[in-house]
Amino acid sequence: MLHTVVALVEDRPGVLNRVASLFRRRGFNIESLAVGTTHEDGISRMTIIVDGHEGIVDQVEKQLMKLVDVIKVEDLTQTEAVNRELALIKVRCTAANRREVLEIATVFRAQAVDLSPESVILQAVAQRDRVNGLLDNLRPYGVMELMRTGRVSMRRGTEVTAYGDQNGESEEMHRFHHESGRLPEGELPYVSD
Amino acid sequence: MTTTQRPPARSHQHAHEGAPPEAQGRVLSGADILLECLKHARATTVFGYPGGVVLPLYDRLPAHPEVRHILVRHEQGGGHAADAYARATGELGVALATSGPGATNLVTAVQNAMMDSVPVLFLTGNVARNLIGRDGFQEADATGILMPAVKHNYLVMRAQDLAPTFAEAIYLATTGRPGPVHIDIPKDVFLEEAEFRWPERVHVRGYQVPGAADEDEIRAAAEAIDAAERPIILAGHGIVISRASEELQAFAERAGIPVLTTLLGLGGLDQRHALSYGMMGMHGSYHANMAASNADVIIGLGMRMDDRALGRFADLNPDATVIHVDIDPAEHNKNIHTAFPIVGDVKETLPQLTAAVRRASHPEWVRWIDDLARAHAASLSVPEGPELTVQFVVQQIARAHADDDEDAIIVTGVGQHQMWAAQHMNISRPRQLITSGGLGTMGFEVPAALGAQVARPGASVWSICGDGGFQMTFQEIATMVDEQTPVKLAIMNNGYLGMVRQWQELFYKDNYVAVSMSQPDFIKIAEAYGIKGIRVDEPGQVDEAIREADAHPGPVLLDFRVTADDNVWPMVPAGAALSETVESADEVA
């Protein structure tokens, strides 16, 4: 079964490495992984689609929480949530059958974002199943290129997945937490070894 | 929606103990800041090895005489010595290496500390910031290489970040489930100047330290314990780490529950205690393994349900109710199904459990285990006879340092001699046994003995060495000579990798491959290093040799010429359940 696990992580060098390494090392199956910034300063959000039974997902969550750079983990699988992924699909078509392709796009609420004499790029922002349905219908025309971002997920209603507590950190420590580990800007003096 | 369950926990601590550090606010070089950090944290014993990129740090060492640098002969040795230093004291160990090969030589020691939850700060230099990523001389991605082997690690890119990084790193290494933390420091950061500012408070928002457990969970577990007819306690390293021996004893006595320990749990409860039933696991005693297999309630305390302790997970004891107290929630339900997972520090949760359970005793159950122990005592006995055996040697070393020697420390390598030491040395105090449990690192025994002796200069440190493991790391004898650490290195010399030989005999039809080894003349090695060497060929020479070694003020190497074809019994064959423990080769199919 596919689970939607959301992790709030420190926006720091190496975090993606730590998470990816954990999944590889413990043999967890990632279906997709989407990362981006959030409304909270210095916090990134990962939406991870994990394949496995309850016990596996329980371990995934606990092992993630064990990483010092992971602030919060939630399983949104059983939650009322908006689930979306973005797909860009380049389909082979000419003036002769372009109308058919665009009709299929309309049915699946995808948009044409690029046209050429022999191709069209469709953009779909949808749930996984709808993207799959769109793809099934486009295959006979020839899918030249496909790119999917993987699922992002957000709970419906006023409840949020957020850290929430930004107080208690001095400016100095705030700077430390956000900048440490990154190469300072500007020219560094050359030091030979 | 499920949110990962967390108990009430602390996520920060005040980093100042009393006054701020003396150097607070002064502008210093990165090297000086690092050394001020170690001084402030009272982590002033550093096992290190210099090299190009850490020279700016070494250059400043003489200005900080409070920091004792011990020059090891290999970075792995430095790492194991720092690890054993931490195990012997419960305090942070520190190891230092240069970039590239220095850092990669640490890897075994880092993973060893990780597997056994040992608080060690591993420091590495790296190439200068503008050379990182350019494959410069002696550059290795130490941060990346060590990432999966540490509790956490850091690459410090500014001198001003050093103090907060050290404060955070030391906090992480020593709290919660302890573990190794690594800090990687480019050469020019040692040279850069910054104001030394040790933070007032350490706050890591993704990290929480469990303390006491949820009272509802305690009550539910206590009810299961009260209803048990055949309860058993499995006590692990957590009891030793959290200094919870008294709490364990109080709980076991109140609920009348027999106690088994894992290898690293040895010493958590005095083996002379009436409820102590020794070690369980692959080479645990027969009665212990049967007790675990026949219990109706299994209470794991500060242990991680490891395969060497539990045998084949699926058949440990499918009908038993499992209660598992551990500070690391990721250990719950990882290997075996747990009805009552309790997140907490055993130091705080055991008094909660003691208060919640009824006073009880289980005379029939205890009698059942006692009868088994008597009936199966033979497989755990020390062989008598003309031949010199490891079992006899380690027993005599233990007897020479019996109850009156509160300060004896036993260090071991990995293999048959380690298991015999665990079985026959009556380990009865916390931190008395220093051994590589999870990683099973051969070669741990020599540098670990160095670290233990440096940590506790007054202790009698006996290292039970395998002849294979000894040859992996014996270069640290030179460090022992430099530091005048009077370690006793007792080599169990049988010309074989004993445990490999045992497996080839039992499970590979006597097909002995790459297991017999010619050995150098160990006495000449002792002479070459200028330490005392004693060769022992017969049982009759053992006691005198031990006396002579103990009386000698410096390091001693003892070459015990032991039998080659002995096997460790009892044994849970590879892949078998604890209930399938065998006591002789005839029983191995």
Give yes or no for B15 touching A (CB within 8 A). Answer: no
Q: What distance separates the 2 farthest-apart alpha carbons in chain A?
A: 66
- Compare CB distances from A75 to B2, B148, B154 and report the shortest one's residue: B2
- Burial (0-12, 13-18, 19+ Cβ within 10 Å), B380: buried
- A168 and B328 within 8 Å at the Cβ level: the answer is no
Give yes or no for B207 touching A (CB within 8 A). Answer: yes
Report the pLDDT value the prediction gives residue B15, as an integer from 0 to 100.
Answer: 54
pTM score, whole prediction: 0.95
Lowest mean pLDDT among A82-96, A171-185, B52-66, B249-263: A171-185
Radius of gyration of chain B (CA): 24
Report the pLDDT value the prediction gives residue A166, as an integer from 0 to 100.
Answer: 63
Q: Which whole-number Å values give the CA distances from A154 to A7, A8, B308, in the listed order? A: 12, 13, 43
Q: Are strands B460-466 and B408-412 parallel, antiparallel or unpaired?
A: parallel
pLDDT by residue for chain B (589 residues), tens only, comes to 344 444 445 555 655 455 788 899 999 999 999 999 999 999 999 999 999 999 999 999 999 999 999 999 999 999 999 999 999 999 999 999 999 999 999 999 999 999 999 999 999 999 999 999 999 999 999 999 999 999 999 999 999 999 999 999 999 999 999 999 999 999 999 999 999 999 988 989 999 999 999 999 999 999 999 999 999 999 999 999 999 999 999 999 999 999 999 999 999 999 999 999 999 999 999 999 999 999 999 999 999 999 999 999 988 888 999 999 999 999 999 999 999 999 999 999 999 999 999 999 999 999 999 999 999 999 999 998 899 999 999 999 999 997 666 789 999 999 999 999 999 999 999 999 999 999 999 999 999 999 999 999 999 999 999 999 999 999 999 999 999 999 999 999 999 999 999 999 999 999 999 999 999 999 999 999 999 999 999 999 999 999 999 999 999 999 999 999 999 999 999 899 999 999 999 998 7
Q: HEC profile for B297-349?
A: EEEEECCCCCHHHHECHHHCCCCCEEEEEECCHHHCCCCCCCCEEEECCHHHH
Instruction: Report the candidate in A75, A77, A60, A74 with the shortest Cα–Cα distance to residue A19.
Output: A60
What 3-state class would DSSP assign to B188? helix
How close is the nearest chain A Cα to the Cα of B161, in Å? Answer: 6
Q: Which residue of B has its CA nearest to A187?
A: B130
Instruction: Report the candidate in B538, B546, B534 with the shortest Cα–Cα distance to residue B425.
Output: B546
- B197 and A172 within 8 Å at the Cβ level: the answer is yes
Interface test with B, best of A11, A178, A191 (most B CBs within 10 A): A191
Inform me whether the pLDDT recorded for A45 exceeds 60: yes
Inform me whether the pLDDT recorded for A167 exceeds 80: no
Q: Which helix (H) or strand (E) holds B194?
A: strand B193-195
Give yes or no for B55 touching A (CB within 8 A). Answer: no
Give CA–CA dist B35/B254, Å, rounded.
Answer: 48
Inform me whether the pLDDT recorded for A193 exceeds 70: no
Q: Which residue of B has its CA nearest to A42?
A: B205
- A181 and B156 within 8 Å at the Cβ level: the answer is yes
Q: Which residue of A has its CA nearest to B336?
A: A55
Give yes or no for B140 touching A (CB within 8 A). Answer: no
Give yes or no for B539 touching A (CB within 8 A). Answer: no
Q: Which residue of A has its CA nearest to B169?
A: A68
How big is the A-B interface in CB pairs under 8 Å?
Answer: 120
Give yes or no for B305 touching A (CB within 8 A). Answer: no
- A21 and B164 within 8 Å at the Cβ level: the answer is no
Instruction: Report the candidate in B176, B118, B149, B170 with the shortest Cα–Cα distance to residue B434.
Output: B118
The pLDDT confidence band at residue A189, using thresholds 50, 70 and 90, is confident
**Is the previous residue joined to B7 through a cis bond, with omega within 30 degrees of 0?**
no
Chain B residues within an 8 Å CB radius of A63: 330
Report the pLDDT value the prediction gives residue B6, as an integer from 0 to 100.
Answer: 41
- A59 and B155 within 8 Å at the Cβ level: the answer is no
What 3-state class would DSSP assign to A85? strand
Chain B residues within an 8 Å CB radius of A56: none
Q: Which two structure tokens, joined as six digits, stand for B316? A: 């440990």
Give CA–CA dist B399/B286, Å, rounded.
Answer: 23
- Rounded to the nearest 5 percent, the helix, strand and coil shares of chain B are 40, 20, 40
How close is the nearest chain B Cα to the Cα of A65, in Å? Answer: 8
Chain B residues within an 8 Å CB radius of A58: 333
Q: Where are the alpha helices (DSSP H) in B156-231?
A: 162-174, 187-191, 215-226
Active centre residues of B (catalytic): 75, 137-138, 187, 499
- Compare CB distances from A63 to B138, B154, B330 and report the shortest one's residue: B330
Chain B residues within an 8 Å CB radius of A75: 1-2
Q: Which residue of A has its CA nearest to B198?
A: A173
Q: Which helix (H) or strand (E) holds B453?
A: helix B445-455
Give yes or no for B204 touching A (CB within 8 A). Answer: yes
Sheet strands (E) in chain A = 2-10, 29-37, 43-51, 70-75, 81-92, 111-116, 119-126, 143-148, 152-155
Report the pLDDT value the prediction gives residue A169, as an integer from 0 to 100.
Answer: 74
- Compare CB distances from A75 to B1, B53, B199 and report the shortest one's residue: B1
How close is the nearest chain A Cα to the Cα of B130, in Å? Answer: 7
- The phi and psi torsions of B48 (rounded to 5 degrees) equal -140, 170
Q: Which residue of A has its CA nearest to B150?
A: A67
Q: Which helix (H) or strand (E) holds B409?
A: strand B408-412
Chain B residues within an 8 Å CB radius of A176: 161, 164-165, 199
How close is the nearest chain B Cα to the Cα of A66, in Å? Answer: 7
Q: Are strands B297-301 and B259-261 parallel, antiparallel or unpaired?
A: unpaired
Spatial CB neighbours of B31, under 8 Å, sequence gap ≥ 6: B56, B57, B59, B60, B190, B191
- B333 and A74 within 8 Å at the Cβ level: the answer is no
This complex has an ipTM of 0.93
Inform me whether the pLDDT recorded for A131 exceeds 70: yes
